[in-house]
Amino acid sequence: MALPDYISLVGGTSRSTGISNQSISLGYNYLSSTEIDNSTNLDDLADFEVIWQYSSTPTANKSLRLYIVYSFDGTNYEDAASDTTEPVQLTLVRAWSPPADAASHRMVVGGFPLLPYKFKLLVRNHDTGQTVTVTVNCVTRKAAQVID
């Protein structure tokens, strides 16, 4: 069996997350109603772009969090809600401490491994002291492509 000539990265496909300019109050979660069907897509990785802004300066050294909420059977999702319930058993994508200013910020979380199930996203404004406006963009992709 001949070895492949080379392996290259594969371009991804943009996926709708349902989180666009979403206002999230202090201590609340926002659970998207939009599902991404990775049971059909069978992508290996997800790249997330998170864009956020506060209208008032948040408390320094506090956190925002992004989670994945999976559906193992394609219908029923892990326990998550758009309320004040802190997620304890969800897959954490990233927790970060936003700068203490009211400027718009962007962050990319690249190469997050995916399971082959449908999923939704949840953003938690854990303890920043202010309401935040968040947009989450997602691109899913295969890890690599073998070129013969």
pLDDT single digits (tens) 34-69: 999 999 999 999 999 999 999 999 999 999 999 999
Q: Phi and psi of 39, rounded to 5°?
A: -70, -25
- What number of other Cβ atoms are within 10 A of residue 92's Cβ? 11
Taking only the tens place, the pLDDT of each residue in 123-137 is 999 999 999 999 999
Written as six digits, the tokens of 4 are 């492949």
Give the model's pLDDT for residue 146: 73
**pLDDT over threshold 70, residue 100:** yes
pLDDT exceeds 60 at position 1: no
Q: What is the pLDDT of residue 5?
A: 64
Q: Which of 69, 54, 139 is nearest to 103 (CA)?
A: 54
Reference 32, options 53, 48, 17; nearest CA is 17
All residues at 6 or more sequence positions from 3 whose CB lies less than 8 Å from its CB, including other chains: none
- Confidence at residue 145, expressed as pLDDT on a 0 to 100 scale: 73
Structural domains of the chain, ranges and CATH numbers in brackets = 6-147 (2.60.120)
